Structure 1
Amino acid sequence: MIVFDSVVKRRGERHVLTGVSCEARPGRVTGFLGANGAGKSSALRILLGLDRATSGRALIGGVPYARMRDPMRTVGAVLDGSGAHRSRTGRAHLRWLAYAAGVPVDRVEEVLADVGLAEAAGRRVGSYSLGMGRRLGVAAALLGDPPVLVLDEPVNGLDPQGIRWIRTMVRSRAAQGHTVLLSSHLMAELEETVDDVVIIDRGRVVAQGTLTEVTGAHRTLESAFFQLTGAEDGR
């Protein structure tokens, strides 16, 4: 379970987040949706211990990220690409992460196969396409087989095959009882993927609930988003 409890983030006089409260539950895929600059990435950085909230709490399994004893086996996350050095091979990058986290090295080959990178594992990361880089990032997130998965803009820049792969992967994780939180500004791409929706606008949560509850009388999630935020487009 992921919980944001009245999270506030200020930078100088500017409020980046204003009392954000929402949750992502086990066994469900939750879409954390908003236009670029709405505060999604700031909230996720606080959740993952990369930034500090001015006030409020962000918890995973009831614990702040900074207090986790074994974070790789608790939460897997992808925020900014794969995080791999361009000169390393995909396999070497994952082996280094596994060694650092105390994960058995055999797990590397398992996740490479799971994300469809087994044949490209010996290539240098610098030669990877955008989609391959995203798959490598997900492989790293899955190394510890964590019960919680957090992905920031996972389908951005992916081709249709990559989008289908992400959709299948996260639905499978949720079916196993895991918690999945997806951040995106691409409403249409997540409509067939998510169970629950949190919409954030200008640092505030403006709607949350099941997909059906949030869309309500609106024809699509995208139209509901525009109505709730007053956004001119979804980018």
Structure 2
Amino acid sequence: ALARQTPVAARRLISFLSQSPLVLEGADHAFYQAFLKALARGAQQLERDLRRGVPPQWRLNAAVALCFAGLCCEGIQPILRRATRVLSRELDRQIMADGGHRSRDPRFAMELLLDLLPLRQSYLSRSVEPPAALLGAIDRMLPLLRLLRHADASLSHFNGMGATAADHLATLLIYDGALAQPMMHAPNSGYERLEGGRIVIVADVGAPPPLPYSLNAGAGCLSFEMSSGPQRIVINCGLPASGPELRRL
């Protein structure tokens, strides 16, 4: 069932945790206990998913959610320790040296960063040292988003990326410094950026991602996008934001 898929369960757990002050305000004891049991069931499901094996991106989703649970809930430090180990291992495996994810999917990288940044803050808020893999992944991933960004504040439409939520991207790039310059070459991820005056070209020059990571990969090798200032001139069709479950033929 869709509700039990690992990414859905991970997002549900994170949402429950982030909205818990509102949900629990004025709640009676019975509701409070039921809410805690729902959190526990969600965490247990994600741990089972990690043990039985799920796609690589889903492992990251589960590890992030379990780290949030371990930091936000008292008395489940063993979950935090296990989840931190899994998170570190998966970030080292999946985030390449140039900051790209092995799926080559800008959407997944952007959504992952939207979770990793508050997760880093959660570690610090609880006076727990964030894992080095988390800090390193964030530092590598932010510059790559600038490589893929056009002047209209949208990301190039490659391998699963569709319309960009401008507020999401703006939020992320604040952490990279407002005046930071984009990297021009991403040899591991297979993307190149060319600039001349107002003209920007972003090209996909990489091979298809490995099969386990190709959930949203498109047949777009050697495709490119071109913009002049805020005007997009050549653009790929991308993947609809409302339908990431759709697959390329």
- The TM-score normalised by the length of structure 1 is 0.28
Q: Which has the higher contact order (CA 8 A, sep 6+)?
A: 1
Higher gyration radius (CA): 2
Instruction: Pick the structure with more strand per residue.
Output: 1
